[in-house]
Amino acid sequence: MQLPNMSTDLLPEFAPGALDVYRRQATFDWRKLRLFLEDERSLRFKMKIWKTLEADPLFQHDPVSLSLDEQRRLTTKRMYRILEYNFPAHESDVDILYKVI
């Protein structure tokens, strides 16, 4: 199975880390598996959401542990921020959203 050109921008290499040893031992190409399980449109939608949330400072990990009350406040802020983004902007994106969930 040939990987389409879109696979490198849609499915970039993992950052180097502790799991590299095990990734090299894998007997299958994870990109091919992911493209088999999900269509390109769904992957692009997921990546759009991921990159948007990753760039938003509100979704960055806090270096200190938060109290339960602070966690609840932060979660509520994050919920409203996600609603502001209006990710399924088009009716056709709603069906993708159900596949993602």
Q: How far is residue 44's CA from residue 48's CA, in Å, rounded to a whole number?
A: 6
Report the run of H or E that residue 49 belongs to, with start and end: helix 40-55
**23-55 pLDDT, tens per residue?**
999 999 988 898 888 888 888 888 889 999 999
Residue 84, pLDDT score: 92
Domain boundaries in the chain? 1-37, 39-101
Considering the chain, what is the average pLDDT of its residues?
84
- Mean pLDDT over 12-31 rounds to 91
Task: Give the residue with greater pLDDT, 25 vs 5.
Answer: 25
